[in-house]
Structure 1
Amino acid sequence: MTRRTASPLSLVLLGLGVFLLVLAPMLAWYVEPRAKRTPIDVDQITVFEGKGSYFDTEKIKTVADQRLTVTRQVRGDVADSEKSGRAIWDVVTSIDPDKTLPAADPHDALQWTQERWVTDRKTNKPVHCCGEKPRFEGDAYLKFPFDVQERDHLWWDPTLGGTVPLTFRGEKKIQGYEGYRFTGRVAATKTGTRQVPGRLVGLPERGQVMAEEWYANHGIELVADKRTGRIIYAAIGPRKTLRAPGGKKDRTVLLDSRRIAFTEKTQRAQVKLADDDSSRLKLVGETLPLLCVVLGGALTLLGGALVIRGRNSGANGPNGRGGNPDAEGPHSDTSPSALQPTTM
């Protein structure tokens, strides 16, 4: 009796199907979560533009209706990031009127800051190490956490030196790409002191005074990519003023704009980056697992059916036990009568 086995093709199909079914949850539950990590090899520039007023140090007065540009460059410190396991970004921001552009010399800018942001690559929460400057809090700043939630977030405002509650306002399309919109504002807050001529704060009889610096923000609007947390649109309304010591009234406006927002070029660049990153995460976390389940299930069923068919074919074929119902019948070569000696 010969036993038939399954064909190699059926075993290959069955094995491939099982492999794909095992791969699907691994992609969704293991690979994709590990792909959601803040990048460390970033090097990008975002530009805001708007109109407003600023204190012109040459004219020694505030000039109005001027174009203002905010330029922010973010560079990842790859070596320190790999060493610490954190996302370490060095950030340079300058605010300039037209006459000090391009924003290359910090001495010309209305405001120039250099910061070092250190965050947990998975949660986007601040990590207080590795030369962080300033010490910041909150859960949203240069980006939001992955898988942005439809809830309020705390945004770190470096000028304020504190967090600002951002309220979730639904969805908004930027350059045809949909993200979550958040808004907030900052009431006038004292942020420090500065030595200035007394006449700038209404005290002409005094040569120099330690004036109070006050900061407010008319409105903050941020639109974040839902999956990656990348900010695809940002607008701010900064106001910085000087007051006399203990004063209740702004005496000199250092900077004031109702709205400075991402340029069209920056919006397009941010949307492209967000779309690319989001598409890759969706591919690994949703598309490929679903494809693996569908294709793996089909191959498993097909391979299993072929294996069963091959074995049944072997068991019931011409040489199998059930191949000929008369194999032990009266006409068989091995029938009882054929084995008896003749009496003739």
Structure 2
Amino acid sequence: MKRKWFGLVLLGLGAFLLVAGVLATAWAPGVVKKTPLDVNQVTHLDGTVKKLDPATGELNENPVKVQSITQADSKASDDHTVVFVQTTCVVIDVDNAPDCVNGDDPRLVSASTDVFATDRVSALAVPDYAGLPEGSLPHEGLVNKWPFDATKTDYMYWDGTVGKAVPAVYDRTESVLGIDTYVYTIDIADAPIEIAEGINGTYDNHVEIYVEPKTGAIQQQTQDQQRYLDDGTQVLDLKIGFTDDQLQQFKDDAKANMQLLSTVTVWMPIVGFAGGGLCLLAGILLLLSARRTGGGGGDDQGAPREPATVSA
């Protein structure tokens, strides 16, 4: 009897593990490989900036820091599309400057707010999404991350300064603090832009974006940017990249997210199919064994009996 019950338990466990394996293969990747709706990320960059001093006509160099806050608007988002609000502040890092200052502070280089929507799977912008506030600038291409399982190919990436997507060209594979990344480069030259209200000029930028391909998360991003007036006068020279602390945080996040993906998409199917198959096989063998012994295994139903004694 014990063999029979143990066999039934193994059959049930095997069926459960096989179902878990099927779900991990067919359903779980579609759940975990989606941009979450609770993103609230603060990103810090630093470097140097040369900014035109109108009084002297010279470019003055100073250390600079950049803070970018990216928050998902869960109420405006849905199962397929996520809305982001991103604020960015570039500040000359002197006199204990805070992460952002008001418009009257001479240490302010630029400040901006951007609202956009992206597909939660492909990471591509959704320019006509109904959840965007009225008057939002339509975006195109990738905006703030790469898709899951990024490949060694070129992508279109949004540049807010020129107001359109530009080619991000796959260049090489490189490790960032032990995280393997694909490096994509963007080169913009002589792009017409508005330097300030009513003042036109041109814009050059060389960008390198280091992407962890499994999650599509950006691990490092560097910019070498210049802006010029129409007469050729340079007004800005900005060189920035993620801070050391930011790189370490993104490394830790990448390792945790890759481990989660590996658990759900690799180990759960292995345990489900292999463990489930073994449990089913063992359960069937136990049931067959119990049937051959008359359903026993723990009682005396199959034991020989002594002949009855008849009293004289």
Give me the TM-score of the superposition, normalised by structure 2: 0.86
The Cα offsets for residues 82-135 of structure 1, whole Å up to 9 and x where unpaired, read as 5x7521111011122123821322413211110012111122121123127331
Matched, 1:280 2:253: no
Structure 2 unmatched runs, 5+: none
Is 1:99 the counterpart of 2:99? The answer is no
Shift of 1:229: 0.7
- Partner residue of 2:204? 216
Given the superposition, is the C-alpha separation of residues 316 and 119 from structure 1 closer, same or farther in structure 2, using an over 3 Å criterion? closer
TM-score normalised by structure 1 residue count:
0.78
> How far apart, in 1, do the equivalents of 2:274 and 2:148 lie?
28
Corresponding residue number in structure 2 for 1:73 = 69
| Counterpart code for 1:89 | F
The alpha carbon displacement at 1:6 in A equals 5.8
Task: State the 1:11 CA deviation.
Answer: 0.6
* Partners of 1:179 and 1:223 within 8 A in 2: yes
> Is the CA contact 1:194–1:211 (under 8 Å) kept in the aligned structure 2?
yes
Superimposed CA distance per residue, residues 21-78 of structure 1 (whole angstroms, 9 cap, x where no aligned partner): 2220211210221221112212221112112311246x45343432122221111212
Instruction: Return 226-235 or 171-180, whichever deviates more.
Output: 171-180
Structure 1 counterpart SS, 2:77: helix
Of 220, 224, 237, 2:224 maps to 237
Residue pair 1:5, 1:311 contacting (<8 A) in 2 also: no
Q: Equivalent residue of 1:190, what SS?
A: strand
Identify the range of structure 1 (31-40 vs 94-103) with the bigger mean alpha-carbon deviation: 94-103
Q: Which runs of 5+ in 1 are unaligned?
A: 196-209, 245-249, 325-331, 334-344
> What CA distance in whole angstroms lies between the structure 2 residues aligned with 1:306 and 1:150?
51
1:25–1:60 CA distance, 2 compared to 1 (3 A): farther
Between the aligned partners of 2:60 and 2:119, the Cα distance in structure 1 is 42
Contact 2:122 2:148 in 1 (8 A): yes
Report the secondary structure of 2:264's partner residue.
helix
Give the paired residue count. Answer: 296
- 1:112 maps to 2:114: no
| 1:136-172 deviations in Å (ceiling 9; x for gaps) | 111x221111111121111111112122211212321
Letter in 2 for 1:290: I
Separation (CA, whole Å) in 1 of partners of 2:210 and 2:110: 25
CA RMSD of aligned residues (A): 2.6
Q: Could you say if the C-alpha distance between residues 36 and 223 of structure 1 is closer, same or farther in structure 2, counting changes exceeding 3 Å?
A: same
Instruction: Give 1 or 2 for the bigger CA radius of gyration.
Output: 1
* Partner residue in 2 for 1:88: 83
Secondary structure of residue in 2 paired with 1:99: coil
Separation in 1 of the partners of 2:83 and 2:188? 27
Aligned residue identity for 1:310: A
